Amino acid sequence: MSFSVEERGRENTADYRLYFKNAEGKYISPFHDIPIYADEAKNIFHAVVEVPRWTNAKMEIATKDALNPLKQDMKKGNLRYVSNVFPHKGYIWNYGAIPQTWEDPGHRDRDTGCCGDNDPIDVCDIGNTVCSRGEVIRVKVLGTLALIDEGETDWKVMVINMEDPEAEDFNDIEDVRRLKPGYLEATLDWFRMYKVPDGKPENQFAFNGEFKNRDFAIKTVKDTHSFWKALISKNTDAGELNWLLRTVLQSRRRAQLINGSITNRHR
């Protein structure tokens, strides 16, 4: 299964968008149309890289935009960049999201006591390769960290790219601790401190900042997949989320929406 991307607008501007296409060249939503599983029997998932390692621009899947392209997040009218919090440079992993998942803001997690953050579940790829923005990779889940971001549960799933030459050596969170000493501590520190330069307090964590293991993380991912299913089945309030442009729509209607509301606006 292959995917490609199409850039529109200039980087580091509010107009920049990165659209996704399938192997047939048709526009798709990275939120809804890329399958969650690369290999369901082996619990291998797809992940969409939003932010390549060492970069600072806070890119994200635009869940409220038609076709859900990648765009740079904005706060109070300004483009968002993460600060370099010593000794880190930008994001310290390839950062992205697992498609066809959703952290339901109406569901209070039994373990964290907080509701979801209204986004696809986040991943941190610890592999050695620096990926490209918009790259779709196959990943193995290793564990997860439960960040509490302004009162919302914001899971950070630790994964490794299946194409990484060391992927077979990593099967659970303790393998990260053993083979990449200091990486989990750096991850915890990064998420705790990254908003402090913006004048915000340190972030908090459930489980006292403990990383949960592979089985816990896989269950969490699958739970968010079930929330996504409820979302697209209209069993859950979608709010402002845009899921109407999934490829299940008739091709004529889809073409009208692409050529009208998207092409003309973002050229």
Q: What is the CATH number of the domain that holds 198?
A: 3.90.80.10
Confidence of residue 238 (pLDDT cuts 50, 70, 90): low
How high does pLDDT run on average in the chain? 91
Confidence of residue 153 (pLDDT cuts 50, 70, 90): very high
Residue 153 is part of which domain span? 4-266
Instruction: Return the pLDDT at 236.
Output: 66
Q: Which residues of 35-62 are buried (b: 16+ CB within 10 A; e: fewer)?
A: ebbbeeeebebbbbbbbbbebebbbbbb
Number of domains the chain contains? 1
Strands 115-116 and 27-28: unpaired
Sign of CA dihedral 87, 70, 21, 36: positive
* DSSP-derived secondary structure letter, 113: S
Selected residue with higher pLDDT from 242 and 232 = 232
Q: How far apart are CA 24 and CA 61, in angstroms?
A: 22
Instruction: Return the pLDDT at 262.
Output: 42
pLDDT of 248 strictly over 50: no
Helices (H), the chain: 173-179, 183-193, 214-232, 251-257, 263-266
